[in-house]
A and B are shown apart, each in its own frame.
Chain A
Amino acid sequence: MRLTRRDALAVLAGLGVTGGAVSLTQFDPPTADSTGKEGGSTGEDGASGDDTPPTAVRDTMAAAAEVVYPSAAEGVSEFVETYVVGRARDDSRRAAMVDAATELDDVARDWEGAAFADLPAADRDRLLRELGVDAADPVPDGTLSERLRFHVVNELLYAFYASPTGGRLVGIENPIGHPGGAESYRRATMDEPETTDSGGETDG
């Protein structure tokens, strides 16, 4: 199953990240063409704007998602990029998410001698478990393990399983948190998913 940016936008809309005009292009990662343009500049850390997490953070989150998500998931990088950039528009979450991902990367460099995103997937999985993240309670301002559970693992799991595509993988196309309409509960089976990743706005 393929995750799309539209999936990420649907989850963000469910969380209230719309601003009335959230579009697919708004979450496009910075490109060479956008460098130097208003609102699209890329700084030394790879951030494309005031709210955008640094590239290293986005890479760490995507790398974490590759082990947190089922192996059947495709399009993870693009999905996570869109979600993380959108999520970071929430001032109350951006700094903590950036800090947690940065700390995870720091631990990887200290323990494994490489950036978290550069580790093989099995080593990323092992590192998270060695840190106790699998058993930790999610606490936004808790210990490192608790913060990684809240700001990295659970952030990513919420994005996945509250999305229509992630929900479909376990048999529900309108998961809790997703405003998928008041018809699906009446159907005996899942309807056919939309397969296009077209642009445009969404308000959920």
Chain B
Amino acid sequence: MDRTPVADADVCIVGAGPAGGLVAHRLAESGAAVVVLEAGPRFDGDRREQLEQHVRPGLDGPWEMGGPRDAFSSSGESFYPLNAARVKGVGGSTLHWQGMVMRLHERDFELDTRHGVGADWPVGYGDLRPHYAAAEREFGVAGAADNPYAPPRDEPYPLPAFRPSHSDSIFAEACERLGIDMHSVGNARNSEPYDDRSPCVGYGTCKPVCPSGAKYTAESHVEKAEAAGARVIDRARVRRLEHDEAGERVVAAAYTTPDGETHRQEATQFVLACGGVENVRLLLLSDSDRYPDGLANSSGAVGRYFMDHLFAGMGGRLDRPTRQNHVGFNTSECHQFYDDADPVNGLKLEFLNYAGPSPVIDALHADTWGDDLLDQLDESYGTHVSMGALVEQLPREDNYVGLDRETTDDLGDPVPEIHWSVDEQTEAALSRANEIQARVLDELGVEDRWTVGPDETGPAYHHMGTTRMGDDPESSVVDAECRAHDLDNLWISGSSVFPTGGAMNPTLTIAALSLRLAESLRAQLG
């Protein structure tokens, strides 16, 4: 394959995930000459092979993460499992995401003003509202307007919501008695045919792979961008951005291809869209005499304020069938406590449709077979219920992504260092989530209980905050349009620009910001 640079490119986008794919599509459609450089491969094969790779022990993971290319360091109090948290390839991390999508709440954009914590965004919900609607159309979100806690919206979802599960109906009995409101949740997954993709057919492996194509992946927009004339170069690892003598503009992206050759892609505009970790790494690797602390980093904020969502969970068993593991997505959530002020961290509750073990996966790990195995599976499957929760982590300067200059990848470049800890305030919010979960499970009479709380929590794999947006160049990396304060033609697309993260899965907001960025960048091209 020809992986040489494109001549006369208007826009060079680094990263072919949702943030890059949507920008590439919008700009290519408008007539711009777009090139996308993607570090990972195209996964063109039959997705059912990846399903088997996921389900059957003994096979490599489906998305080829974790080799020398992906080396990293984790230095904080909490280990960060970075390579479980991302995918490099055309489609990016939407290849393995679960596909849950919802809008941030109004309060998420003004947390400092309202509560004196975190930071305000330089844009408000009203600024993003039309872009949220557009993003829902692009993804084909299945949802319903039955959530009384959701921010205002003008239009119906593009697709009808997935109907509640039998498991939801069990939870509903208890929640009704407790005054806890359940409602539908947005799915970037086809409940009906949409955008030439299949409806869900129930493989049950949404995360990490949907063989039917019902789950949205950014491959969709990358393909549309290519159809509109964009050129996508896979396995092109961008290692450095070069700037002009004045330090005002990026002039080229230097990338290395599998044959070991290094190329320079020149363009008029550059968009970084390679995630909350690799965006930082590339900016820091692009240091120069003019910018000794890394590109776009005159504020010193590049890499700082790394945030993720934290998981809280609780589950157990009932004395009746709960019908779990038919599908790999959720159909109901509760956002009733999201805007509470004590604790101020946002939290949302999930009612899981995949509680407990799957018989087929259990069987493949069992140490027996025949009737013994059947007895084990009869005992292990059928009566589990679980609730999950995502909890907001507020931005802290001492949670950061940096470079580990003592460790290099297979190209000799320093690897990213994740320095991440969970603070006491977040732990208090996790405890609050557990308290609500316990009320529901107590009401249901759930036995054999387990809990994931402050001591057992882990990240939800949403990398946010490391190139935060703001009006003040002294304290932020990009402006409200997602353009770097320091360089005229460098834009950053993705959740790394979030000043705060809320507790909602971030990809719909990534998409809304990306569509907004594309509009602003298009205006710059003239």
**Residues of A participating in the B interface, judged by any CB pair closer than 8 Å:** 14-16, 67-72, 125, 134-135, 137-140, 146, 149-150, 153-154, 157-158, 160-162, 167, 169-172, 174-189, 204
Docked complex Cα distance between A70 and B211 (Å): 29
Closest to B48 in A: A16
Docked complex Cα distance between A162 and B358 (Å): 10
Main secondary structure of the interface of B (DSSP, over half): loop
The 10 A-B pairs at the shortest CB distance, nearest first, are namely A16-B48, A185-B326, A138-B58, A161-B360, A179-B201, A176-B204, A70-B374, A68-B369, A182-B200, A16-B46
In-complex Cβ contact of A174 among B162, B211, B326 (8 A): B326
Does the CB pair B52–A15 fall under 8 Å?
yes
Q: How many A-B residue pairs have CB under 8 A?
A: 156
Closest to B190 in A: A182
Rounded to whole Å, the gap between the CB of B210 and the closest CB of chain A is: 10
Question: Taking A182-B327, A186-B165 as contacts, is the C-beta distance between A176 and B358 under 8 angstroms?
Answer: yes
Does the CB pair B370–A70 fall under 8 Å?
yes
* Most A C-beta atoms less than 10 A away, residue of B165, B200, B201: B201
Does the CB pair B46–A184 fall under 8 Å?
no
In-complex Cβ contact of A67 among B56, B58, B361, B370 (8 A): B370
Q: Is B446 an interface residue (CB 8 A)?
A: no
| Chain A residues with CB below 8 A from B496, complex form | none
Q: A16-B48, A139-B58, A180-B326 are in contact. List 18 more A-B contacts (CB 8 A).
A: A68-B369, A68-B370, A149-B58, A157-B360, A161-B363, A162-B360, A170-B378, A171-B359, A172-B381, A175-B204, A176-B325, A176-B328, A177-B51, A177-B52, A177-B204, A178-B204, A185-B166, A185-B326
| Chain A residues with CB below 8 A from B382, complex form | 170-172
| Chain A residues with CB below 8 A from B374, complex form | 70, 72, 169-170
Interface size on B, residues (CB 8 A): 53
Does the CB pair A154–B56 fall under 8 Å?
yes
| Chain B residues with CB below 8 A from A178, complex form | 202-204
Question: Taking A67-B369, A171-B321 as contacts, is the C-beta distance between A16 and B364 under 8 angstroms?
Answer: no
Q: Is B371 an interface residue (CB 8 A)?
A: yes
| Chain B residues with CB below 8 A from A140, complex form | 58-59
Docked complex Cα distance between A22 and B456 (Å): 48
Question: Taking A67-B370, A161-B360, A184-B202 as contacts, is the C-beta distance between A15 and B323 under 8 angstroms?
Answer: no
A-B CB contact pairs (8 Å), 15 listed: A68-B369, A154-B57, A157-B363, A161-B363, A167-B360, A170-B378, A171-B321, A174-B204, A176-B360, A179-B202, A182-B201, A183-B202, A184-B323, A185-B165, A185-B327
In-complex Cβ contact of A158 among B203, B353, B360, B370 (8 A): B360
* Most B C-beta atoms less than 10 A away, residue of A134, A140, A157: A157
Q: Is B155 an interface residue (CB 8 A)?
A: no
Q: Is B163 an interface residue (CB 8 A)?
A: yes
In-complex Cβ contact of B212 among A67, A134, A135, A179 (8 A): A179
Does the CB pair A150–B58 fall under 8 Å?
yes
Q: Which residues of B from 198 to 219 have beta carbons under 8 Å from A? A: 199-205, 211-212
Does the CB pair B359–A181 fall under 8 Å?
no
Does the CB pair B327–A71 fall under 8 Å?
no
Binary per-residue interface labels of chain B (53-91) against chain A in the complex, 1 for a CB within 8 Å, 0 otherwise: 001111100000000000000000000000000000000
Q: Is B49 an interface residue (CB 8 A)?
A: yes
Q: Is B299 an interface residue (CB 8 A)?
A: no
Rounded to whole Å, the gap between the CB of A165 and the closest CB of chain B is: 13
Docked complex Cα distance between A139 and B60 (Å): 10
Does the CB pair A170–B364 fall under 8 Å?
no
| Chain B residues with CB below 8 A from A135, complex form | 367
Q: Is B377 an interface residue (CB 8 A)?
A: yes
| Chain A residues with CB below 8 A from B30, complex form | none
| Chain B residues with CB below 8 A from A150, complex form | 56, 58
Does the CB pair B361–A137 fall under 8 Å?
no
| Chain A residues with CB below 8 A from B163, complex form | 186
Q: Is B164 an interface residue (CB 8 A)?
A: yes
Rounded to whole Å, the gap between the CB of A94 and the closest CB of chain B is: 15
Rounded to whole Å, the gap between the CB of A191 and the closest CB of chain B is: 12
| Chain B residues with CB below 8 A from A181, complex form | 201-202
| Chain A residues with CB below 8 A from B364, complex form | 138, 154, 157-158
| Chain A residues with CB below 8 A from B363, complex form | 157-158, 160-161
| Chain A residues with CB below 8 A from B199, complex form | 182
Does the CB pair B370–A71 fall under 8 Å?
yes
Binary per-residue interface labels of chain B (28-57) against chain A in the complex, 1 for a CB within 8 Å, 0 otherwise: 000000000000000000101101100111
